[in-house]
Amino acid sequence: MDNDNHDLLDLHEHPGHLLRRAQQISVSIFHDEIQGELTPVQYALLRTLAASPGIDQVTLAGLVAIDTSTGASVCARLEEKGLLQRKVLPHNRRQRALTITAGGTALLKRLDPAVHRLRERLLAPLTEREQTQFMRLLDKLVIENNAQSRAPLARPDAA
């Protein structure tokens, strides 16, 4: 194999590959810490709903950057678990307002230490300064490329 082909095949030079690996590692640590209580998407939806009670499913999906059909099915599972309530909006019967239940709030509170450990474990290879820089750069990468996503993040501060 010549050097030109070798350079093309070095996956560790491709940011997409490294981001995918980082996501795999993050999800693995998430499952290790959370012990099957929630999936990463369920956690993101519940955490966002706790901060924005009463929003509709479409808005919630946008705030978490998932498509609306996935958002609806995940919300249905969370409702089955008794972690959120969905109520039809009187002014738009196709949309549902969401509220986190007492059980959902208690679960998030109980998971807080595990979520902190998850962050610590994931960022542990970096110094404190590198962690700050990494998070800042990762946020910039996500914000600047948001429009490229099939499910763009609907940032409330972008309005």
- The residue among 12, 18, 88, 78 whose CA lies nearest residue 48 is 78
Domain ranges of the chain: 10-147
The pLDDT assigned to 159 comes to 43
Assigned token pair, 154: 């609907």
State which CATH number among 1.20.1560.10, 3.40.50.11900, 1.10.10.10, 3.40.50.970 fits the domain covering 10-147.
1.10.10.10
pLDDT digits (tens, 9 = 90+) for 43-78: 999 999 999 999 998 899 999 999 999 999 999 999
pLDDT digits (tens, 9 = 90+) for 81-104: 999 999 887 777 777 889 999 999
Q: Read off φ and ψ for residue 145, nearest 5 degrees.
A: -105, 10
Amino acid identity at 136: R
